[in-house]
Structure 1
């Protein structure tokens, strides 16, 4: 008997070594996928904000965590320490999340082993198979890879949440056997329920201090423990659990009550409110399994089959292990329901806010794959071909979706994590001149991260422009020679295009360069062009053409300077005609002033409008005349034009300096 026991022990050790070898290989795969092209894409806005935010003074950091940031302090403190050692580059800061993303692979494997183990018996081969499949799913999952390359708290939160659940399961399975303490004399691993519960409390506090929504997982565990402990009349177990929860509350409540005001006031601009419970479930399911780097129609078509498979797995599992099925169900259902409830009245729903329940989905699908492989799911052992075909389909599905989503993530600019802020700011730096200033009309911290020594500010400072913003723009227009403008405005910030309208009316746009999704604009201010203006005093309707400036010939850049002396009741169009010596039209440009951003009805008395017109003059060498004026776009009637002495000009048009094309 002793010899048989020794042989079984040796076989078990060999199996364990093989399994941990496989886990180590999966961990290396996870590491490779998470460091590949780690700094290829620019930091997105939230990442840049985080990196800048944690480098504040200590006083500024604590104040910001309390009043600005919607997350608890642990991640910021940890990242601050990391940056002090590794630096604040894209590679270094993203590596912070890579570490925890990679660590989640062996942690999920360990959690799966704990879930399928018994207090006095090693888990069987089937438990090892489930655990290995779960580790494989999270290792290659594109959603987790995305967040492992993101300088935010989601990879750290997932890692800490898994660690807490490992200690919880160790405590729970020992409590099921009513054994206060079990020690493995060979490994000397402490197997005390009290010790495991203490470690669980510490890990849970760390998780709660990383993301507030971890409280939803805590609620699921409380419901699970209370239901099972009360039904089994295990009052000592319940008492120990309540004591642990009391410790968590005592150590966490002060922060919630006095450390931050963001829990009751925060609303994420990019999040949603009022999403249905079905939407919350289906979108989190498809995001965690398929990721956000697949077309939306994939999610629309696949969420229902995935949901059916999930339900089938949980129903089958309920027949074999009710406690495990209930645990997985509550782990998914309670946080999903809570997310739905809290986002009814406030924009608080984003799929990533539930990232810590993603392992529940991976475990469930791993159980399904494991059962198919072991011939006990839906079919009988005799149907070998069908069984292996189903297993192959499952493996192929998860592998294919991962490869497809990762190919988009790594190589398709349409799915890039962020626009190319790095290239944008490098372009400006390469062409900067003394007296340049950079403004953007959206609070995008990536521009601040990549600016170097460029002066960069955001206008407007709030969602809507104010008189103070206009005053600031007038000050910039007077003090600087050139203004670079990044119109990166989404619809909910500066949606009236206040900044672009102001610059188009009061500065001269000399370039608009497409860089990735940006329309980078360069404006000359009056300090740069004032000395080059050719003075003129022609009156056109209720405005005066005070001067103009001409650059180029074939590529003609004409700037007209208007000044209103009273309000206009109609919106007039400006015409610019280039004619030859016989009066024949060779080029023209018609349109509302200042690229359509300064209609004449909006001109204020005394206001100067900068009106740019660019024309391509494809004509034979010779002398050509530039003619300008205004007309009513409805009737095509020209607006009367008078010279400086009050005499009406023929054809209601003004002839400017001739140009010579060679």
Structure 2
């Protein structure tokens, strides 16, 4: 392949890599870790360092500090948050080509590996994720390129680059140290057997000393974090770890359904075979002993991080596929070499080896394309969980209420909601600590004392925080649930308490009396929630059947029903010596025209044929309560 053609091919691959990474960059919602990183990056760099040590954040500070300055220039949209990762992901593709060139790989293998990284669903996922993993990928690739260049021809500039890039890599993610371990093993194996190269080890030791001097103070300050981190992943057996690792490299997390273990084994087995074949192919192609250490570099570059993470996860549940990102480049380099090796295996046997290699390449690329398609089109594989819908629902259900009278409560401290909800209503976490039932009850008492009359609770699955419904149980001690709606991934429950009731004395059939009511807000927009409270009382000789139901309705000017809420009459709780207050919630239709509407209440018995209504002493089958104003839609 001519140099000009190779350069044009590389340029096309880089443009493709950037296009795939920037396409729909802001379309999917932030996930929890992205939102955490966003809020963690907002304070000053000094505050970020202090918070990392105080809160025992398990990642170092480089990515947060960089994001702090970037957000100040680019803004706070999802696109802006993720663009840093897109940039680093694209740079990583260029660095892949640089590494292949430093290793003197054949042009076809070099371009093939670069193209595989460019279209990799695994790499693209991280390039569209506002976390440090794409940055880790680029920095570990960069330090590898610099290290290979220095070991071939030591120069001061290359040594300084190794130190700076090594420092940045270690201050981005602690697991990047595993790549440095692989490079040190490579340096030892590539220089020790040759006497004229051994003196380079002294210079290499100086480079490592520079990296250690730059990271040592931080590692000492963060030693309690490194020693005390209990993990946020799992500890799979080695076969499962290899299956998950190689299948995610091959086709991404969306390439196979989580339950499709057979498909994962297929992709893992196929890619592992090609990787091993690629290693053998390169070792055979580099006939000189000194050249063969290039192949060993790739094998160490892949195996050491995998082995280190596997060993680390034995004692603590810290395995997660995203931690493998630094080992992705050698995987794709060896995979491309393996595809070329299929052709060499069948040399002299006709055209079938090329056909087999072509089919395998199509299969691998097809799996990657399928993974990308699922990631972008199937919600189960994407990042969107419905946060935008939830934020909009919170806006609607708190609309027209005094902000001081409303709270948004989470039963798990997920920061993502606070990126999307920017309204005036305060929020809190209930329970305030994991499994803290007493703390939840105390917080609810504080809400009641503060005259908070409406609480919005999106219920999040939180096995490690609120597995037993502590938040719901605590709120139901003082509030009544009036609305429950499925919004995105969450059931959203609205709890209410009444303001001061307007006294009434409306007697109905069967010895029932409507003793008072309240409704708020009296003016609200379409899509809002009207909370109604009715005070019921029974006479000493009441003839209630227990099957009665209450209907609270909103009527337009012509008497047409536009919205309602029907609930059983709390017959068992009714007393003659006091009123029982029951809560109702009327959801205003989104398309309801603005204007004045009449709020009425009535009681009927669905157990009787025709569901007759209970009449007042005046013979009316309804009680007009108030006029409610629906505001124009914004």
TM class by shorter chain equals 0.7 to 0.9
| Alpha-carbon distance, 1:56 to partner | 1.8
Are 2:149 and 1:170 equivalent residues in the alignment? yes
Are 2:380 and 1:414 equivalent residues in the alignment? yes
1:475 equivalent in structure 2: 446
2:627 equivalent in structure 1: none
CA distance in 1, matches of 2:607, 2:138: 65
Q: Is the 8 A contact 1:410 1:416 kept in 2?
A: yes
1:202 equivalent in structure 2: 164
Change (3 A) 1:20 1:441: same
2:246 equivalent in structure 1: 285
- Secondary structure of 1:261's aligned partner: helix
Change (3 A) 1:659 1:30: farther
1:44 equivalent in structure 2: 31
Are 2:353 and 1:387 equivalent residues in the alignment? yes
CA distance in 1, matches of 2:251, 2:199: 43
Q: Is the 8 A contact 2:605 2:611 kept in 1?
A: no
Change (3 A) 1:304 1:85: same
Q: Is the 8 A contact 2:63 2:132 kept in 1?
A: yes
| Alpha-carbon distance, 1:548 to partner | 10
Change (3 A) 1:241 1:616: farther
Are 2:281 and 1:316 equivalent residues in the alignment? yes
1:89-108 matches, within 5 Å, as: 89-108=77-96
Q: Is the 8 A contact 1:107 1:162 kept in 2?
A: yes
Are 2:328 and 1:358 equivalent residues in the alignment? yes
CA distance in 1, matches of 2:496, 2:503: 12
CA distance in 2, matches of 1:360, 1:619: 76
Deviations 1:200-235 (A, max 9, x none): 221111111111001111111112222332333442
Unaligned stretches of 5+ in structure 2? 287-291, 508-513, 520-530, 537-544, 551-565, 574-579, 587-603, 624-634
Are 2:490 and 1:523 equivalent residues in the alignment? no
CA distance in 1, matches of 2:324, 2:455: 42
- Secondary structure of 2:106's aligned partner: helix
2:389 equivalent in structure 1: 423
Unaligned stretches of 5+ in structure 1? 1-13, 117-125, 175-191, 537-545, 552-556, 563-574, 581-586, 595-607, 627-656
Q: Is the 8 A contact 2:483 2:495 kept in 1?
A: yes
2:135 equivalent in structure 1: 156
- Secondary structure of 1:285's aligned partner: helix
1:595-634 matches, within 5 Å, as: 617=606, 623-624=612-613
- Secondary structure of 1:438's aligned partner: strand
Q: Is the 8 A contact 1:508 1:559 kept in 2?
A: no
Q: Is the 8 A contact 1:168 1:200 kept in 2?
A: yes
Question: How many residues end up aligned between the 2 structures?
Answer: 542
CA distance in 2, matches of 1:142, 1:397: 14
Are 2:479 and 1:513 equivalent residues in the alignment? no
CA distance in 1, matches of 2:442, 2:46: 31
CA distance in 1, matches of 2:606, 2:54: 58
| Alpha-carbon distance, 1:275 to partner | 2.2
Per the normalisation by structure 2, the TM-score is 0.78
Q: Is the 8 A contact 1:26 1:135 kept in 2?
A: yes
CA distance in 1, matches of 2:68, 2:369: 34
CA distance in 2, matches of 1:307, 1:17: 33
Over the residues paired in the alignment, what is the CA RMSD in angstroms? 3.6
| Alpha-carbon distance, 1:158 to partner | 0.5
- Secondary structure of 1:262's aligned partner: helix
CA distance in 2, matches of 1:54, 1:404: 34
1:214-229 matches, within 5 Å, as: 214-229=176-191
CA distance in 2, matches of 1:82, 1:327: 35
1:344 equivalent in structure 2: 314
1:299 equivalent in structure 2: 264
| Alpha-carbon distance, 1:345 to partner | 2.1
Q: Is the 8 A contact 1:54 1:76 kept in 2?
A: yes
Q: Is the 8 A contact 2:275 2:337 kept in 1?
A: no
Q: Is the 8 A contact 2:547 2:607 kept in 1?
A: no
Deviations 1:248-282 (A, max 9, x none): 1111111100256321222333x11x322333222
Q: Is the 8 A contact 1:623 1:660 kept in 2?
A: no
